Amino acid sequence: MNHKEGLMINSLLKDINYELNNRLRCTFRHMEYTVPQITALQILYENKKMTLSELSHEMKLANSTVSGIIDRLEKHELVERIRSTEDRRIVYITLSTKSNFIEEHIQSHVDEYFSSLVEKASKEELDLILNGLETLKKLLHDNNIQNDKD
């Protein structure tokens, strides 16, 4: 791949990320939560109990960024920080009972959005998109492994 193609991939990824975030923001405009807050809630819903580091890893964001997200969700009483009984240094983040209704509501909106997005594509287009994204992910992963060795 030459320099021009690399720049094109970078530009397309930025555009796609912008469009997805913008559309999700519009989908949730009636709610007072941001896309990262909604993402954190979804991940916690799937995992039930996580440390801040584990959540940060899943969200692919810095611990300090996720800490701010959790602080705001805690103020809305959607998450709780619970200290481990075995090791007081460990703090787990869990969903509060107040978040149950919101989580179901959020998940249905996300599902509807992505369903409407992919229903416009043919099976061949979806296969091309998925194969291309898997290939890019593999290339990025392989490049990270090579960089770690250097």
What are the sequence ranges of the domains in the chain?
3-119
pLDDT > 90: what percent of the chain?
46
Q: Return the pLDDT at 94.
A: 94
Q: For domain 3-119, say whether CATH 1.10.10.10 is its number.
A: yes
Higher pLDDT, 104 or 139: 139
Q: Return the pLDDT at 81.
A: 95
Q: Return the pLDDT at 93.
A: 96
* Residue 39 clears pLDDT 80, i.e. is over it: yes
Task: Check: CB of residue 66 under 8 Å from CB of residue 55.
Answer: yes
Q: Which residues contact 32 (CB under 8 A, 6 or more apart)?
A: 76
Q: Return the pLDDT at 14.
A: 92
Place of tokens 């990025």: 140
Q: Residue 109 — pLDDT band, cuts 50, 70, 90?
A: confident
Global pTM reads 0.70
* Residue 148 clears pLDDT 80, i.e. is over it: no
Residue 101's nearest CA partner among 25, 29, 31, 21 is: 31
Averaged pLDDT of the chain: 87
- Most confident of the ranges 43-47, 54-58, 83-87, 117-121: 54-58
C-alpha to C-alpha distance for 140 and 34, rounded to whole angstroms:
28
Q: Return the pLDDT at 110.
A: 77
